[in-house]
Structure 1
């Protein structure tokens, strides 16, 4: 208990400490059979012990409680750690040290109630054979392939590695395909797709998307891809999307101008590039 003495004889302010040295610092005695006097307990010494213990409790943001004899222990657990292992090595102790399961530093901490010891996970840990010798720093892990990833250590014994951060930076961590026809999934779920195609009979064609849009295709642009081949003198081409694209494909109509005095008409074999976006 670190509650201040509340006897009727107590005073509100801490009395001044004596300035004179009465004797040599030492230890208490209970007197002796040869007539030695027992050690007197002085007021200033009792105040010193009381305030030393009470200051620990106050520093830990706890309220001194006259009925609680474990507040100093709770304060020490809240403010300090013990070297030697994680929560699962010695239950009920705040620790920073090596865990018995994996080599590395694990930590635990006092919860919001000021008493319950919570597991904080690993600060640095080598998971050994589970992840082929990977090293974890907090929730960030260097995997067996040497790339940075995010690690969850509370998956019922399963250590699940999610998308690699280095892949996301490189543009490969969220699903993609590169080539003449390709796509890229962006953070947030937006999907960008592109490709090349040519018109069929009468100028009609139906290019398929490399991957189906999960919800919908929001738009599509089609442009000429072989102007030097298709464009004769005065014969430009025009490509457009017919209707609204589905999640898997779009209808494209390609036309060419027949020249001076002519008009527009669909034509087979007109090459084009397309660009689509959605989510």
Structure 2
């Protein structure tokens, strides 16, 4: 759209229309019908696109069209151009979640689930598969919350795409009540939230008959079972009598305490702990024979 510069004898001055001047004897500019119609249609097309019917007696329809909801299209998801953003696009891209929904069975999430909060319902376990990490932009987020009573498995579309606490895994488990936000970072879905804690070295553990549990503050709990040898009264000085019990893992700094409980039918039998170090200890009992016991060790 422009002035009718290409039309001969229009009489533009400096590229614009001018009025007739009887005093100066200069004619005014002519407005060709084709140009006048083109300008009118240009304006009417905006009014019609907004869903309004052109009305000759109304002079504010163009403004109403520009303020209306029909004129501007919401850009596609993840659009990062300089197009005008509708409130719908802004709401979907920033601030609150784009929406929320629930699933109760095995589900493959798609790009359309980016920005959504999804509750994992039902009463049995199943697998939720995330979109291919390469199909979404950096910073894309999907948030999951397990309101199921069973364990839910969250898997990547391809192997090694899920990364809790710097790991590279095919899947993670979400126990009842746990939540996780999966954020596209590089070539991974990086996991944030309570579901990631069990994969942290601060919470590392060995859940077995003889095992351990680290806690974030530095405390380490260890447990196991062993035999307490008959007490010879020499505080562990004679070879061949003492039996060392090795902890499942060495304490980083020190073992503060080891508590033992007899396993058997002698309720008054005590277990005596000696030679406690970061890696092991010995145990004795006043009985004539070796006695089984369970222990808990506390250290850091």
TM-score range, shorter chain: 0.3 to 0.5
Taking structure 1 as the reference length, the TM-score comes to 0.42
The structure, 1 or 2, with the larger RCO (C-alpha pairs under 8 Å, 6+ apart) is 1
